[in-house]
Amino acid sequence: MNYSKKHMILAGVMFTLLVLAVGCGKKKPPPPPPPPPKPVTATLSANPTSIQAGQSSTLTWSTENADDVTLDGQKVNASGTQAVSPTQTTTYHLVAKGASGTQEGTAQVTVTQPPPPPPPPTPTPTPQVSDDQLFAQAAQDIYFDFDKSDLRPEAHQTLAQIAQAMKAHPNWKVQIEGNTDERGSTEYNLALGERRADAARQELLRNGVSGDALKTISYGKEKPVCTESNENCWQKNRRDHFTLLH
């Protein structure tokens, strides 16, 4: 083999090696791995967290990177609100699912029963008023001028009240007692007292009281309520007094 042929073979070998070297240098690296999926988040809250039976609370939730969101098994939007009115203490569950996994959120609404209404006040018993008390309220004494049996205007008013009370209690029997002051004889004053008692009786009859319910008597000057000898005291004794008979 001459020098020229050897040279050609050597050149070919070198070229082949060069091609192989160049080809190895151009090999592409593998692609990078995809980034990991973003984490799923889920939050759930209630406002207010405590209610009385019959009231409502609002649930509020939000999620991120979730493909499927459910609230107590019902599909809902990724975020939102919902009014709830539980009848007893309840815990609500939010479930968010995504490529990176599952996240849950919970919120509890405590339900309390309203306090019972206060008991009605115990009625105050109506005091029982006796017939004597009722009669005493209506049957005030009536008074007369000196040596007179004519009824004064205020006596007419008092007798009208007595008549009204007696008609409301038809079982009442009333004694009308005529009285005088100390001046004059016993006989004269007994007669004057009788005229005064009869004047009251006639007025009660005119006001609708039955005659069977009335009795008259004269004490004259025998039952004074005041024993001093002056006009103020005498005026107190010139009276008709009314007694409820039993």
pLDDT digits (tens, 9 = 90+) for 125-183: 888 889 999 999 989 999 999 999 999 999 999 999 999 999 999 999 999 999 999 99
As assigned by CATH, the class of the 41-112 domain is: mainly beta
Burial call 160-177: b when 16+ CB within 10 Å, e when fewer: bebbebbeeeeebebebb
Domains 41-112 and 131-245 share a fold: no
Q: Structural domain boundaries of the chain?
A: 41-112, 131-245
Residue with tokens 């005229």: 195
Q: What is the pLDDT of residues 110-131, one digit of tens each?
A: 999 888 889 999 888 888 889 9
pTM confidence score? 0.51
Query: Which has more confidence, 15 or 73?
Result: 73
- Are 135 and 163 a contacting pair, CB within 8 Å? no
Q: Which CATH superfamily is domain 131-245 in?
A: OmpA-like domain (3.30.1330.60)
Give CA–CA dist 95/103, Å, rounded. 6
